[in-house]
Amino acid sequence: MKTSARNAGILFLESALEVDSAVTPSATILSWFEGRRRAHRFRLEPISFNDMVKWGFDPRTGNLCHESRRFFSIEGLRVKTNWGQVPEWEQPIIVQPEIGLLGFITKRFNGVLHFLVQAKMEPGNVNMIQLSPTLQATRSNFSRVHQGRAPLYLEQFTDRRHGRVLVDVLQSEQGARFLRKRNRNIIIETEQDLPVGEDYCWLTLGQLLRLLRHDNVVNMDARTVMSCISYALGPGASPEAVSSRFGQELWRSFQSFAAGRSSNEEIISWFTEQKFAYDLDVERIPLGTVREWVRTDTEIRHETGRYFSVIACRVEADNREVSAWTQPMVKAHQRGLIAFVVKDFDGVLHILVQAKVEPGNFDVVEMAPSVQCITGSYENEGPDQLPPFVHYVLNARPDQIRFDTLQSEEGGRFFREENRNMIVEAGPDFPRELPSNYIWMTAGQLKEFIKYNNFVNVQARCLLSSLSFIEMDK
């Protein structure tokens, strides 16, 4: 059951270098994926809150809850902080205290690690189906609260005699929407012969990284688990094919775990300073009392129509544990922008990381992308009114843009929410002086902080998973 980290890192690197596979030829993936979409019947429709089944507003608090009081609930949050421009506000928040589990089963074919990927329907997904980890489960799934079928492959994770653990860490979700929600991100390797369900297929890491360059194909849960992977050099695993300047800088960045422009200790000191400087005081309050938010028959929205709203949906699906249900969802009102600014220092690519306060954060600040904002909010504002570096990213020349796709947020809670994900290489014109809550880090350093939990937010993790030294070697 045991493995050394170095072994896992070598396996991951070898798998990342394989962009095709005899097990599932790359040429067949997208047609298989389309086939899965056509094979299933899905239906999603917004309904009024009154038409929800087993969900309702608690008469005392106005919280939106399941009758079992399990799964999740929509409650109110009062936030006070000295970070940013708004010192105090109230908002709805998703409360889901249970730790979820996001897990890939992997297995070696011809010596190369393959990931068992699921074409999974989630009600809020753009395009309904996206590629997801082998298992997405809550502890409610484990205890079968909803009395449906047990998820496939669950026993591979609960009975660990089946495999060895390659990755196993606890990570956060969106701090603007969830109150301290966390997931266990786990990758196990099995030597068993597993039956492969019709919605599943085996892909190399290289194939997954290539699919990430398509809009809305690889879901958020898969991206966050992939972000927890680190690479190690081993015999037979060397990125010799990487030849471009950018590819080499990026590869060296992945190999710089302990030091870049700042040592890990200096980054920890910078992060400690941020936590010492910024207050985040959150208080759970009844949803019915949240100021400036109004509830209609069909939505809970901000008076101004900005930010997001909470809606109710009816879902029908033929391939889920339960075939029809209703649930609340969160609907964003504007598309967001999530971007890394990256820059070469002494031949090693560095990523500009922001310490960002979000109300649901487990520990005040997390390491966030260089830019993480709702662009729609700033449409009528000049460059000076924008958050730092938004103007720079949106005005980058085409040759500076290394990655630019639309990616979805988690489809189990978010209604067709997609954000523009960008990686932009900074030119010599990029400012040398940074605001005090920004710092340059290597990809390897970010991986190291991901390993130790509660440091890197989900947007930064997912974007990091898109930084592929193979795909960007051009």
Binding site for a second copy (CB under 8 A): 2, 4-5, 8, 97, 99, 101, 165, 167-170, 184, 186, 259, 263-266, 268-269, 272-273, 275-276, 281, 362-363, 451-455
**Residues 129 and 212 sit within 8 Å (Cβ to Cβ):** no
- Burial pattern 277-295, b for ≥16 Cβ within 10 A else e, equals ebebebeebebbebeebeb
Is the torsion defined by CA of 329, 330, 334, 336 positive or negative?
Answer: negative
Q: How far is the CB of 224 from a second copy (least distance, A)?
A: 14
Instruction: Report the DSSP beta bridge partners of residue 332.
Output: 308
Kindly state the tokens that stand for 249: 């800088």
- Phi and psi at residue 112, in whole multiples of 5°? -105, 130
What percent of the chain is helix, strand and coil (3-state, nearest 5)? 25, 35, 40
* Closest C-alpha among 378, 352, 347, 373 to residue 433: 352
Q: How far is the CB of 396 from a second copy (least distance, A)?
A: 31
Q: How far is the CB of 265 from a second copy (least distance, A)?
A: 4
When the beta carbons of 266 and 297 are compared against a second copy, the nearer one is 266
Distances (CA, A) of 441 to 17, 278, 295, 355: 24, 21, 43, 12
Q: How far is the CB of 366 from a second copy (least distance, A)?
A: 13
Q: How far is the CB of 461 from a second copy (least distance, A)?
A: 16
Instruction: Report the DSSP beta bridge partners of residue 416.
Output: none
When the beta carbons of 3 and 216 are compared against a second copy, the nearer one is 3
When the beta carbons of 246 and 278 are compared against a second copy, the nearer one is 278
Contacts of 429 (CB under 8 A, 6+ apart): none
Q: How far is the CB of 289 from a second copy (least distance, A)?
A: 18
**Residues 12 and 189 sit within 8 Å (Cβ to Cβ):** no
Rounded Cα–Cα distance for residues 70 and 28 (Å): 40
Q: How far is the CB of 241 from a second copy (least distance, A)?
A: 28
Q: How far apart are the first and last CA of the chain?
A: 39
Q: How far is the CB of 453 from a second copy (least distance, A)?
A: 8
When the beta carbons of 298 and 454 are compared against a second copy, the nearer one is 454
Is the torsion defined by CA of 201, 202, 208, 213 positive or negative?
Answer: negative
Q: How far is the CB of 164 from a second copy (least distance, A)?
A: 10
**Residues 371 and 389 sit within 8 Å (Cβ to Cβ):** yes
Q: How far is the CB of 394 from a second copy (least distance, A)?
A: 33
When the beta carbons of 157 and 340 are compared against a second copy, the nearer one is 157
Rounded Cα–Cα distance for residues 13 and 81 (Å): 42
When the beta carbons of 124 and 175 are compared against a second copy, the nearer one is 175
Helix (H) or strand (E) run with residue 206 in it: helix 205-211
Q: How far is the CB of 34 from a second copy (least distance, A)?
A: 36
Helices (H), 228-358: 245-255, 264-277
Q: How far is the CB of 412 from a second copy (least distance, A)?
A: 19
Helix (H) or strand (E) run with residue 223 in it: helix 220-227
- Phi and psi at residue 211, in whole multiples of 5°? -65, -25
Q: Rounded to an integer, what is the distance from CA 210 to the centroid of its chain?
A: 17
When the beta carbons of 4 and 192 are compared against a second copy, the nearer one is 4
When the beta carbons of 224 and 405 are compared against a second copy, the nearer one is 224
**Residues 216 and 127 sit within 8 Å (Cβ to Cβ):** yes
Rounded Cα–Cα distance for residues 110 and 49 (Å): 53
When the beta carbons of 76 and 124 are compared against a second copy, the nearer one is 76
When the beta carbons of 47 and 169 are compared against a second copy, the nearer one is 169
When the beta carbons of 45 and 283 are compared against a second copy, the nearer one is 283
When the beta carbons of 281 and 318 are compared against a second copy, the nearer one is 281
